[in-house]
Amino acid sequence: MSRNDKIATITFHNSYNCGSMLQALALQTVLRERFDADNEILDFSNEGQKAMYSPFWKVTGIKSLVKNALWATVYPQVKQQAVSYEAFEHKYFRLSSKTYASNKELDVTNNEYSKFITGSDQVWNIRCMDADDAYYLNFVSDANKRYAYAVSFGANNPFADDALKSHYLNLVGKFDRISVREQNARKWVTEATGREVSLCVDPTMLLSQEEWERTVHIGDAPIIPGDYIFYYCFSISQEIAAFLHQVSKKTGMPVYFFEPKEWALRCCWKNKIRLVRKYGPEAFLNYMKYAKMVFTTSFHGTAFSTIFHKNFWYIDSGHNDLSKDDRAVSFLTQLQLTQRYKTIPALLHTNLSITPDYTESDTALSQLREEAFTFIESIVND
């Protein structure tokens, strides 16, 4: 195919993060299989991203020293985790032939692709460690087209800072089409630019459970034997750990956690929380499919809980300002599942054994998928 037929995607595909990798795969799968588009993911990873997922952090004081010491106790698991993510990337993604480590290096891609899509995930979060204007497609020449699919700001509005507003207004103003993931993001872009933007679901939601099981090899049997509770998030507070221990004692089911560094840092063994033995997106989907109950404080933990029709609960830690961070609430509202969003005190007085009735959620999701497919089709045919 000629350059005029090629579409490049840039996203957090190289994060050691199941949600990031699976959303990247989902968008590429939809582009290539549903719309027969010639799509490649730009193999871009900046220094911030590499530092974020390194086994140890640079020692800058006593806190980082203590963290590294605790992480060293689970180094084999951290190493296995990294190997699993890298294997998944090379097994499932269609990547650009070159790798890119800096924004400037991406300039040459203008000669290879005519359309560039940024998203999904928190690619427009200017406060994350791996933030980069590359995700605002600042390297794309005016001869080529720019699109944003279901981007998230991660609760950080770039237009709210007077020192940054004009810079990001200029970048966003060059996009041919924009869709965002949350209501707040839609409001921020519209108020700042005067443009109407679409609201599209995260790419992970574009594939059904059956499609995910055809796309990713998750195994025919559960990795963890017996009934278990799966807690999925990158962090775990002492309050959440203690709560999960209570639920474990009440139900007789063990709790499994997915993040070895956080497991060690928070001494989760004190609350009898177990660390999983296998890592990567394939294992994650297996744990999600076979879990008896899921607790999460993660967007993608919520997304896959709904895809797999799980008995799940989103733990409201009380630390989120919903006027800014509506990632979970916006999504659960769309699927009419806001009753699954509760504080720990509320969960302690809730019958946790009740699985949601997904009838209305499936109907709502079907409509949201069609709207997203229409948006993606407009990019492919533009």
Q: What is the DSSP string of 245-274?
A: HHHHHHH---EEES-HHHHHHTTGGGGTPE
**pLDDT digits (tens), the chain, 382 positions:** 445 689 999 999 999 999 999 999 999 999 999 999 999 999 999 988 888 888 787 778 898 899 899 999 999 999 999 999 999 999 999 999 999 999 999 999 999 999 999 989 999 999 999 999 999 999 999 999 999 999 999 889 999 999 999 999 999 999 999 999 999 999 999 999 999 899 999 999 999 999 999 999 999 999 999 999 999 999 999 999 999 999 999 999 999 999 999 999 999 999 999 999 999 999 999 999 999 999 999 999 999 999 999 999 999 876 555 455 577 788 899 999 999 999 999 999 999 999 999 999 999 999 999 999 999 999 999 9
> Residue 326: what pLDDT?
75
Give buried/exposed letters for 113-125 (b at 16+ CB in 10 A, else e).
Answer: bbbbbbbbbbbbb
The three-point CA angle 171-175-177 to 5° equals 150
User: Cα–Cα distance between 85 and 88 in angstroms, integer?
Assistant: 5
pLDDT value of residue 52: 81
At residue 318, the pLDDT reads 65
In the three-class reduction of DSSP (H, G, I as helix; E, B as strand; rest coil), residue 235 is classed as coil
Write down the domain spans for the chain.
3-207+367-380, 209-364
Q: Residue 305: enclosing H or E segment and its boundaries?
A: helix 299-307
Q: Do domains 3-207+367-380 and 209-364 have the same CATH topology?
A: yes
pLDDT given at position 324: 55
DSSP state of 337: -
Q: Regarding the domain delimited by 209-364, which CATH topology (the fold level of the hierarchy) does it fall under?
A: Rossmann fold (3.40.50)
| Per-residue model confidence (pLDDT) at position 64 | 86
Q: Give the distance, in angstroms, between the CA of residue 188 and the centroid of all CA atoms in the same chain.
A: 21
Measure CA 218 to chain center.
Answer: 19
Tell which CATH architecture fits domain 3-207+367-380. Answer: 3-Layer(aba) Sandwich (3.40)
